[in-house]
Structure formats: structure tokens, C-alpha cells
Structure 1
Amino acid sequence: MSAPVLSPRRYQLRGVVTGAASGIGRACLELLVEHGAHVDAWDRSPEALADLPTGDAIATRRTDVTDPDSVADSAHEAKLHWGGIDFVVNCAGAFLVGPLADVSVDAVRKLFDLNVLGTTIVTQALLPALVASKGSIVNVASTVALKPSVSNSHYAASKAAVAHLTRCWALELGPKGVRVNSVAPGPTTTPLFRAAGMSAEQETEMLRERAATIPLRRVGEPDETARWIARFALEDSWTTGAVLPVDGGMSL
């Protein structure tokens, strides 16, 4: 099933995408702009930001979502630049793989700082603008937030937190007209795994093993998740509190 996105003429909206320089974040950025949105692209890598498409519909900001001061500065600049904010896509995140006996406390702290606190810090900073516009928040969770995983339990726990924040915020912010939804992708071909320290061989083997357990017998591509994020961000005015698996049936 594909997520329909309508004419670009209907969506002159302004938003922020975190983790916008690669993977699902970049796919979101490109699709949102294609359909008429103006996007503030946040990422902590200046080199990756420099590689993004340019144009009047895109502004880039080097932002560390775990740093409240960095986020506050970027949020202020984004609101001034666009005159308001209609949506935020919390896509910045990290992956951690390994059994319980091997993971370090420091690695787990950094993981939760980025995946959970980063999502919170960004949303807090943009919340007044989103309330003013009766806008949309889209969080990126994971299938492993819905289905237990042996090899990446702390990553799964961090994404389960994101999924439940989505549900709780939907209850809290619904009366203010703000929608909050989450997309939970399955294994997807992105730089996430290599950034976590996996070798090319380890990544290939992990994705091969995961694909063998997925009903559609393959892993996903970033644009397949981005289509659903774009729908939540731009056009779906009646859905809130959803955590949508986009995973080839893996969550079954």
C-alpha cells in the first residue's frame, strides 16, 4: 500500500526535519519539498548538510538535538526565517547493537540522549509555533518498538519510548489542535548501521538475516517510509496517536 500525497499546490507548509542529511531524514526532506513544503533541515554534520539540495524551499542548520541551546537557537532562526512552523519530523537517531552483557552504560546513555531526549528537546522548542499553527508532529520509531528483538534491546527500548511519547503527547496536545503520530520502519537501507560502528559485512549479513524473516522477504528503502511521514505531516488532519508499522510485515 502506498501513501497518497496530493498536489504540491495544496501544501505551502513550513516545517523542520531533524537528521535531514541522510537516510530516511533526507528522503523526507526531498519528498516534502517536492510536494510544496518549505523545510528547515537540521543535522549535526556540516559536511552532510552541505551535500543537500539547495533552493528557496530549503534552509540548513547545523544542530545537535541533544543540546538545548543548539536546538533553541535553530528553532528561533527557523521560525524567523519561515514566519512560523506547521510540522516537525523527529528523524534524528542512533542505533545500538549488542547483547546485554556487552553494551556499555555510556553507549546506552548516548543512545537515549539522542533518540528520546533529542525528540523531546526539539518538540518542546517548536511546540509554541506548532500550537499556533495547529500543526503536526511526526516521530520516527521502529518496528522493534512493537516487536521484541534479541540483538538490540536498548535501541528497541529507546524507540518504544518514542512510540509511547507519541501516544501520550497525542492525548495532551489534541485539545490544542496538534496531531502527533509516529512511523515505525522495519530494517531499511540507511547509514544508521554503519554510523553505529558496524562493518559493511556485518550490515549486509544483518539485513540479509532480517529480510529472511520479513513476509515480503526484503528490507525497506528510505522513500517507502518517507511517503507515510509526508502524509502525516502534510495532509492527514484526522489521525493522531498512531504508531504505524512500515516494515514489510515484520511486526506481524
Structure 2
Amino acid sequence: MSSSAPLPFSNRVAIVTGAGSGIGRATAVALAESGAHVLGVGRRRDALEQTARVHSSIEILPLDICAEGAAANIISTAVEQWGRLDLLVNNAGATAVMPLAETDRSVITNLFELNVTAPSLLAHAALPYLRESGGSIVNVSSTYGHRPLASGAHYAATKGAIEQLTRSWALELAPEGVRVNAVAPGPTKTDVLTAAGLSKDMVDEMYTYERGRIPTGRIGDPVDIADWILRIADPRGANATGQVFTVDGGLELI
């Protein structure tokens, strides 16, 4: 007679930003399937509703994480609903194709606001509850957080900042039992390039180019990245903190 093992995130509470598509949607679904109560956050209600329809343990909160007071609103929504918080996945972000010759102040400001400032404020608001639960933060960086990206320097800079925040927060919070790690995807099939203003043909051309450079010859899938986010956040990995796990098919090796 066999008994099934408890799900790794059973009765735990997670917040996933950018949950309306791509890596965020895949992560929200994977966490729910692993037993978690999930609050999926994003700007597009219709996209979030599609995510929520996949699993009954996903609740949604449509808002702009850069808005004034958004961080406190997000954290309080989760805590008021489920009484605790165990995991914050800072996934929401944007990219921009912007050569130095075309530098635009508003693009720089918006990139850092979404990719660096908003995750920082969310981590700040989540911290008291993560201390109570012995929880963790997983930040989503990029392989370009630690390697150069021509015509995308400011995007790469925001991801480099996220990686340094990850290491520094991990060092600061380790004595309090809060772990902080990051996953750094390589080129992955999401709508982030389309959202950055690239046409479908340009996106396809870029994927073809990247596929030719990746040692495994494979563009990532959001499910691949979600799987690693869950591995990093798994409560059983209690001694892993301050790490940036690159999932890019070996691209960073060349």
C-alpha cells in the first residue's frame, strides 16, 4: 500500500508578477500544481484571467506594479486572503532595443522603474512576512545580466542590477532565514520582444539568429524557466541562497 508524498508547496503562498503570459504564467501554474496558493499580478486583466482558468488555486490582481502604493497593495492582498506569504517571484519586466546613439531618457527611466525599482519595493513590502515564514525571493534576471548586449545595454544593466540585488539581499537576509536567488533565462519564447515594439518578422529573425548561437540549438520555453524557479524556491533547498542560475542552453559559455 503506497501513499503519495505531500506536494512541495502545499499550503504555501506565492506571489508571481507578470503572471499574464510567458514565464510568469508558466510559473504561476507550476506553483499551483505543486500545492501553492498563487496570486498572479499583471497589468492585463484578460491575460491574467486566462492564467487563472488553468488552475483553481490561482487568484489574480490586475494592476501596474510601478504604480504608487502597488507593492503594499499586492502584499496585503495575498496576506489578507491566505494569512501568510512564503514566496515572491519578481518576474515582471521589459526589454528595449536602444543603441547608444538612440538613447532616450524616458526609456532608461521606465526600464529601471519596472525592472529594478518595482521588484525592490515588492521585496521590501514582503520582507516582514517572509521573515515569519522563512520564505524566499526569486528574481528573474537574464543571461544578459552578466554578459554584454549590443544595442540593449540599458536592459542588460537593469538585469545586472537585479543580480547584484539578489546577492546583496541574500547576504543581508541569510541570518534571518530568508533566501534570495535568481534565475537568468537565455532567449525564451515569450511576448517580451513583441511588447518592446519588434515586428513578428524581426522577432523570428532574432530567434533564428540566437538559436544558431546557442550550444544546445534550442530556444527556451517558459515551462523550462518555471521549472527552475520552483527548484530554486523549493523549501527543501534551505541552504541555497545568493545564487544566479543561468538557464540559456550554454549561451553564456561562448
Q: What residue number does 1:145 align with?
A: 145
Report the alpha carbon displacement of residue 161 of structure 1 after superposing the two structures with TM: 0.3
Deviation at 1:152, TM superposition (A): 0.9
8 Å Cα contact 2:184/2:244 also seen in 1: yes
- Count of residues in correspondence between the two structures: 247
1:48 matched to 2:47? The reply is: yes
Q: Does 1:240 align with 2:245?
A: no
Q: More displaced, 136-145 or 58-67?
A: 58-67
- SS across alignment from 1:9: coil
Q: How does 1:46-195 map to 2 (within 5 A)?
A: 46-54=45-53, 56-195=56-195
Is 2:24 the counterpart of 1:30? no
Identity %: 43
Q: What residue number does 1:224 align with?
A: 224
Q: CA deviation at 1:231?
A: 1.1
Paired with 2:31 and 2:151, the residues of 1 have a C-alpha distance of 33
Please give the alpha-carbon distance, in whole angstroms, between the structure 2 residues aligned to 1:103 and 1:218: 32
1:134-189, Cα deviation, whole Å (9 max, x unpaired) = 10100000000111111211110000000110000000011100000000000000
88-97 or 70-79: bigger deviation: 70-79
SS of residue matched to 2:52: coil
| Structure 1 residues 46 and 216: CA distance shift in structure 2, 3 A | same
Kept in 1: contact 2:29–2:51 (CA 8 A): no
1:7 is displaced (CA, Å) by 5.2
Amino acid at match of 1:70: A
Instruction: State TM-score, norm by structure 1.
Output: 0.94
Deviations 1:27-85 (A, max 9, x none): 00111111111111111111211222345411100132212412212211210101100
Q: Tell me the alpha carbon deviations over residues 77-132 of structure 1, each in whole angstroms, 9 at most, x when there is no partner.
A: 21010110001100000011121111311011101100000110111111111111
Give structure 1 regions of 4+ aligned residues with deviation exceeding 6 angstroms.
none
Q: Which runs of 5+ in 2 are unaligned?
A: none
2-side partners of 1:207 and 1:250: how far apart?
13
Q: Give the alignment's TM-score, normalised by structure 2.
A: 0.94
Task: Please give the alpha-carbon distance, in whole angstroms, between the structure 2 residues aligned to 1:68 and 1:79.
Answer: 19
Map of 1:3 onto structure 2: none
Q: Which structure has more RCO (C-alpha within 8 Å, separation ≥ 6)?
A: 1
Superposition RMSD on alpha carbons, in Å? 1.4
Partner of 2:17: 18
Q: Output one character per residue of 1:198-232: Cα deviation in whole Å (capped at 9) or x when no partner.
A: 00011111111111111111211101111010111
Structure 1: give runs of 5+ residues left out of the alignment.
Answer: 1-5
Cα distance in 2 between the residues matched to 1:228 and 1:9: 16
Change (3 A) 1:250 1:56: same
Q: Secondary structure at the match of 1:15?
A: strand
Task: State how far apart, in whole Å, the 2-side matches of 1:161 and 1:173 are.
Answer: 18
> Which residue matches 1:211?
211
